[in-house]
């Protein structure tokens, strides 16, 4: 659009908001500033274009670009050059991290017959970039320890703690065995961790066609789903302990940083691990005998799933180059005008496992179009109140390396200045996914109402609400219909927001469209331009919608008179988490009592088939009552102060007197939910309300300290952790109360 057309548009929009028309309301804005905000937003929304998104993707996904490759660096420099060309103040920040890449890999069946796994993804002729073998990272799991083991195999389903309880019932031990786990059910790094804790000496992870192969749909290249030889690469670092460079926990991996010896890095696996395709897994599973796997353990391969152990004997070998590689984080800054010391931080990664058109380039290109749009506004005279920081991260795939090292390096500044971190990763077609800090729930609902869904041509918010009604459990449908705002999912881990929310306590959001774009190319060589433009957001309209959605979120956070947090939604949702925690204790308690009763009644003896093995569980002491009062008291205070805050906002002279002091305090509200000594056994995770689960990894645990103690039946720790969670709710209530008082002054 030519510049004069935009100025004309701005003028028309300003005119359309003169008295007589309904004053537009935007959370945190006075009606005057909302009018000018909406005018700027209209200009911004017209900038992102599908053609640009496609061009950027063509460039960024043209060649493999994992950490340490020339094309990874080249991409970072190309993004930097675009930012500068658009007039942004940008630079690259480097870190040097431990990055193992494979030197030797082997999986073979040595008994009862011989089979050598291919460990390779063949090129597909129709897919132009699938033949760049020389630059592709071989199929492997990063941060697996080196090892060379031969042992009987045991099939362990997803390889999560529940599966090992099931194995106990079957009388099967994995001690000294190599486990075969399927992908799914947890973050992949959990599988070798739990296997090692149970005495296994090796771990093979395969993609069962039930999860993302022919069971779901036609396989690539005829369809979107995983083909016989497709392999999911991925990190197996023990990220629930800490993400980022394994050698520099808690500090930026700069040149002079103190580094642990590799042997002391806690997040490298204890046993060797390799991922394989279902083509390679089939002969291994076929060679297993022993009991037939429980019904919910069976996948979609054309065979009877047996658990083992043996007679399949497997040889597994992994050896890596344990190199240090350089990261290239691209950072751009738009200085704020009146509150420059409050930062709005936005990020998406640029590195991939291979070509990575979907993960992450589909998100990276949307972020670039946002940056171009904001740069356009600046050229036309817009200056945000607060400082905006755009980050394009390196090394996300291996362990959130670029974002974690940057956040650790700038921890003090971020704790002081950061109001929000807004993340995206890959983007697809469908519904708006919104997860994040519950204090941003009202804010995100407002943004989603002002962006159109490309397929329905009405707000993304409306479509998401209707989708939630369609898919809600019957007892929750009413809530979706009646509640003013759609709830945000809580954040666990799995992308670059982790260091911001979990370590630093910066209120965070993770956004992206999806749900209509399934497929099975995740972390394979087939995640490339051909696949994306045939099976995902083929015309890049959802890429444009994502750029519009997050661009609006950034602008509103940067421009609002009063930072648009809301604490009644937070108190409401945390109240649900407290209820869930009490229910969890109750169900654990009931489960233990019921099992003890059945043992006394002789149930297990009665149902044991003498021709099969069934090992009865052991009787356990019934759990003590826990004292939830500290949490209830904290929640009560949070509810009161959030209501007080709402009243204070309703009467505040927003847009009349400067609120920079109040805004600075508001940025600290999320920080109040952290404690500096973190969660039990993992001090890096400081947030007391959200964290990735120790044994789920991706999956979020809410009120994680207490929840995990209850799950592990550590009742003393549960009581202590309830006190700590209650304490942060009181801290939060105090901060909000102070702000309310200051607003009323």
Q: How far apart are CA 388 and CA 405, in angstroms?
A: 20
425 binds Zn ion (CB under 5 A): yes
Least distance in angstroms from the C-beta of 172 to Zn ion: 36
**Nearest to Zn ion of 279, 360 (CB atom):** 360
Least distance in angstroms from the C-beta of 426 to Zn ion: 6
Segment interacting with Zn ion, rule: CB under 5 A, options 10-18, 251-259, 356-364, 476-484 = 356-364
Least distance in angstroms from the C-beta of 394 to Zn ion: 12
697 binds Zn ion (CB under 5 A): no
**Nearest to Zn ion of 246, 360 (CB atom):** 360
Query: DSSP character for 400?
Result: S
**Nearest to Zn ion of 406, 628 (CB atom):** 406
Inter-residue contact 181 to 236 (CB < 8 Å) = no
**Nearest to Zn ion of 535, 565 (CB atom):** 535
Least distance in angstroms from the C-beta of 512 to Zn ion: 10
Q: How far apart are CA 252 and CA 104, in angstroms?
A: 31
Segment interacting with Zn ion, rule: CB under 5 A, options 93-101, 208-216, 266-274, 424-432 = 424-432
Segment interacting with Zn ion, rule: CB under 5 A, options 109-117, 317-325, 351-359, 605-613 = 351-359
Extended beta strands in 670-736, E state: 690-692, 700-702
Least distance in angstroms from the C-beta of 243 to Zn ion: 13
Least distance in angstroms from the C-beta of 393 to Zn ion: 9
Structure token digits, residue 439: 């204090």
Q: What is the rounded end-to-end Cα distance, in angstroms, of the chain?
A: 46
**Nearest to Zn ion of 87, 489 (CB atom):** 489
Least distance in angstroms from the C-beta of 359 to Zn ion: 4
**Nearest to Zn ion of 493, 663 (CB atom):** 493
Segment interacting with Zn ion, rule: CB under 5 A, options 111-119, 279-287, 375-383, 417-425 = 417-425
Q: Shortest CA distance to 519 belongs to which of 113, 136, 213?
A: 213
Least distance in angstroms from the C-beta of 346 to Zn ion: 15
Q: How far apart are CA 391 and CA 332, in angstroms?
A: 6
Least distance in angstroms from the C-beta of 275 to Zn ion: 17
Segment interacting with Zn ion, rule: CB under 5 A, options 3-11, 211-219, 358-366, 472-480 = 358-366
**Nearest to Zn ion of 360, 454 (CB atom):** 360
Query: DSSP character for 265?
Result: -
User: In a 10 Å sphere around its CB, with 0-12 CB exposed, 13-18 middle and 19+ buried, how is residue 126 labelled?
Assistant: exposed
Q: Shortest CA distance to 449 belongs to which of 489, 478, 490, 484?
A: 484
> The tokens 């749909």 sit on which residue?
217
**Nearest to Zn ion of 279, 363 (CB atom):** 363
Q: How far apart are CA 693 and CA 493, in angstroms?
A: 9
Strand partners, 182: 206
Residues found in the chain = 745
Segment interacting with Zn ion, rule: CB under 5 A, options 308-316, 359-367, 400-408, 527-535 = 359-367
Query: DSSP character for 501?
Result: I
Structure token digits, residue 594: 């019921």
360 binds Zn ion (CB under 5 A): yes
Least distance in angstroms from the C-beta of 49 to Zn ion: 23
Annotate each residue in 595-634 with x if it binds Zn ion (CB under 5 A) or - if it does not, as one string. Answer: ----------------------------------------
Please compute, for residue 579, the number of CA atoms within 13 A of its CA located in the half-sphere on the CB side.
Answer: 6
**Nearest to Zn ion of 360, 726 (CB atom):** 360
Least distance in angstroms from the C-beta of 142 to Zn ion: 14
Q: What is the DSSP string of 320-375?
A: EEEEEEEEEEEEEEE--SSEEEEEEEEEEE---SSS-IIIIIHHHHHHHHHHHHHH
Inter-residue contact 66 to 354 (CB < 8 Å) = yes
**Nearest to Zn ion of 245, 396 (CB atom):** 396
732 binds Zn ion (CB under 5 A): no
**Nearest to Zn ion of 363, 680 (CB atom):** 363
> Under the phi-then-psi rule, with left for phi > 0, alpha for psi from -120 to 50, and beta for the rest, what region is 737?
alpha
Segment interacting with Zn ion, rule: CB under 5 A, options 6-14, 353-361, 458-466, 555-563 = 353-361
**Nearest to Zn ion of 325, 523 (CB atom):** 523
Segment interacting with Zn ion, rule: CB under 5 A, options 418-426, 483-491, 599-607, 612-620 = 418-426
Which residue among 238, 359, 405, 732 contacts Zn ion (CB under 5 A)? 359
Inter-residue contact 670 to 566 (CB < 8 Å) = no
**Nearest to Zn ion of 62, 307 (CB atom):** 62
**Nearest to Zn ion of 202, 360 (CB atom):** 360
**Nearest to Zn ion of 28, 360 (CB atom):** 360
Size of the site for Zn ion (CB under 5 A): 3
How many helices (H) and strands (E) the chain has is answered by: 24, 16
**Nearest to Zn ion of 425, 566 (CB atom):** 425
598-626 burial, b if ≥16 CB within 10 A, otherwise e? Answer: bbeeeeeeeeeeeeeeeebeeeeeebeeb
Q: How far apart are CA 508 and CA 128, in angstroms?
A: 38
> The tokens 């996904």 sit on which residue?
61
Q: Shortest CA distance to 690 belongs to which of 419, 492, 421?
A: 492
Segment interacting with Zn ion, rule: CB under 5 A, options 42-50, 308-316, 360-368, 555-563 = 360-368
Query: Segment 158-177, which members bind Zn ion (CB under 5 A)?
Result: none
Q: How far apart are CA 377 and CA 344, in angstroms?
A: 17
Least distance in angstroms from the C-beta of 428 to Zn ion: 12
Segment interacting with Zn ion, rule: CB under 5 A, options 352-360, 516-524, 647-655, 694-702 = 352-360
365-374 burial, b if ≥16 CB within 10 A, otherwise e? Answer: bbbbbbbbbb
Least distance in angstroms from the C-beta of 360 to Zn ion: 4
> Under the phi-then-psi rule, with left for phi > 0, alpha for psi from -120 to 50, and beta for the rest, what region is 198?
alpha
Inter-residue contact 545 to 452 (CB < 8 Å) = yes
Q: Shortest CA distance to 180 belongs to which of 42, 313, 354, 64?
A: 313
72 binds Zn ion (CB under 5 A): no
Segment interacting with Zn ion, rule: CB under 5 A, options 211-219, 269-277, 419-427, 433-441 = 419-427
Query: Segment 133-152, which members bind Zn ion (CB under 5 A)?
Result: none
Least distance in angstroms from the C-beta of 358 to Zn ion: 9
Q: How far apart are CA 139 and CA 231, in angstroms?
A: 7
Segment interacting with Zn ion, rule: CB under 5 A, options 181-189, 202-210, 425-433, 710-718 = 425-433
**Nearest to Zn ion of 359, 369 (CB atom):** 359
DSSP alpha helix (H) spans, 29-101: 31-45, 50-60, 70-85
Structure token digits, residue 73: 């660096």
Q: Shortest CA distance to 451 belongs to which of 464, 440, 437?
A: 464
Least distance in angstroms from the C-beta of 524 to Zn ion: 13
Query: Interface with Zn ion by CB under 5 A: which residues?
Result: 359-360, 425
């Amino acid at each position: 659009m030519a510049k004069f057309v935009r100025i004309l548009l701005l003028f028309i929009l300003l005119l359309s908001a003169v008295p007589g028309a309904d004053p537009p309301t935007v959370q945190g804005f006075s009606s005057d500033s909302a009018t000018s905000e909406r005018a700027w937003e209209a200009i911004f929304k017209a900038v992102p274009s599908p053609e640009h998104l496609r061009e950027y993707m063509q460039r960024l996904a043209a060649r493999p670009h994992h950490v340490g490759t020339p094309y990874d660096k080249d991409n970072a420099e190309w993004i930097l050059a675009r930012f500068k060309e658009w007039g942004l103040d940008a630079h690259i920040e480097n870190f040097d991290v431990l990055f193992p890449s494979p030197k030797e890999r082997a999986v073979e069946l040595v008994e009862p017959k011989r089979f050598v796994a291919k460990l390779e993804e063949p090129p597909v002729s129709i897919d132009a970039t699938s033949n760049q073998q020389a630059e592709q990272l071989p199929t492997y799991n990063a941060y697996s320890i080196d090892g060379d083991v031969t042992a009987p195999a045991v099939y362990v389903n997803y390889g999560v703690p529940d599966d090992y309880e099931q194995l106990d019932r079957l009388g099967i031990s994995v001690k000294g065995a190599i486990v075969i786990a399927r992908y799914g059910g947890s973050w992949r790094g959990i599988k070798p961790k739990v296997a090692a804790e149970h005495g296994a000496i090796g771990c093979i992870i395969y993609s069962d066609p039930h999860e993302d192969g022919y069971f779901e749909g036609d396989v690539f290249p005829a369809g979107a789903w995983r083909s016989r030889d497709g392999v999911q690469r991925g990190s197996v670092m023990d990220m629930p302990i800490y993400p980022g460079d394994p050698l520099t926990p808690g500090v930026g991996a700069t040149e002079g940083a103190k580094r642990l010896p590799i042997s002391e890095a806690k997040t490298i696996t204890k046993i060797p691990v390799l991922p394989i395709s279902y083509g390679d897994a089939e002969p291994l599973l076929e060679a297993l005998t022993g009991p037939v796997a429980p019904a919910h353990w069976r996948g979609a391969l054309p065979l009877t799933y047996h658990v083992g152990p043996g007679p399949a004997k497997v040889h597994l070998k992994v050896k890596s180059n344990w190199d240090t590689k350089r990261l290239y984080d691209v950072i751009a800054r738009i200085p704020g005008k009146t509150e420059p010391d409050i930062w709005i931080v936005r990020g998406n990664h640029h590195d991939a496992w291979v070509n990575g058109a979907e993960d992450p380039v589909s998100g990276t290109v949307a972020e670039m179009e946002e940056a171009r749009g904001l740069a356009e506004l600046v050229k036309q005279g817009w200056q945000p109140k607060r400082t905006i920081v755009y980050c394009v991260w390196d090394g996300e795939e291996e362990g959130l390396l670029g974002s974690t090292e940057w956040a650790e390096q700038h921890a003090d500044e971020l704790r002081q200045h950061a109001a929000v971190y807004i993340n995206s990763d890959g983007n697809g077609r469908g519904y708006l996914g919104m997860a994040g800090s519950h204090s941003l729930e009202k804010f995100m609902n407002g943004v989603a109402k002002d962006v159109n869904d490309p397929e329905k041509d009405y707000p993304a918010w409306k479509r998401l609400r209707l989708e939630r009604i369609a898919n809600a459990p019957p007892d929750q449908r009413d809530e979706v219909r009646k509640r003013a705002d759609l709830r945000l999912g809580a954040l666990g881990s799995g992308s670059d927001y982790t260091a911001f929310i979990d370590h630093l306590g910066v209120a965070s959001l993770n956004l992206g469209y999806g749900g209509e774009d399934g497929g099975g190319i995740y972390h394979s060589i087939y995640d490339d331009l051909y696949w994306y433009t045939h099976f995902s957001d083929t015309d890049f309209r959802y890429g444009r919608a994502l750029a519009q959605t997050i661009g609006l979120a950034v602008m509103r956070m940067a421009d609002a008179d009063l930072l648009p947090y809301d604490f009644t939604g937070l108190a409401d949702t945390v109240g649900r988490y407290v209820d869930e925690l009490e229910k969890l204790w109750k169900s654990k308690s009931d489960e233990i009592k019921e099992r003890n009763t059945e043992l006394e009644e002789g149930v297990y003896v009665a149902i044991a088939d003498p021709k099969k093995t069934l090992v009865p569980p052991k009787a356990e002491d019934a759990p003590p009552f826990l004292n939830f009062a500290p949490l209830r008291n904290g929640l009560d205070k949070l509810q009161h102060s959030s209501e007080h805050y709402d009243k204070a906002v309703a009467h505040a002279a927003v847009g009349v007197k400067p609120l920079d002091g109040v805004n600075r305090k508001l940025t600290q509200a999320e920080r109040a939910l952290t404690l500096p000594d973190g969660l039990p056994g993992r001090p890096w995770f400081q947030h007391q309300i959200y964290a990735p689960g120790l044994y789920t990894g991706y999956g979020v645990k809410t009120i994680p300290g207490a929840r995990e103690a209850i799950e592990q039946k550590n009742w003393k720790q549960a009581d202590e952790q309830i006190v700590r969670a209650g304490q942060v709710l009181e801290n939060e209530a105090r901060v909000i109360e102070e702000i309310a008082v200051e607003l009323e002054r």
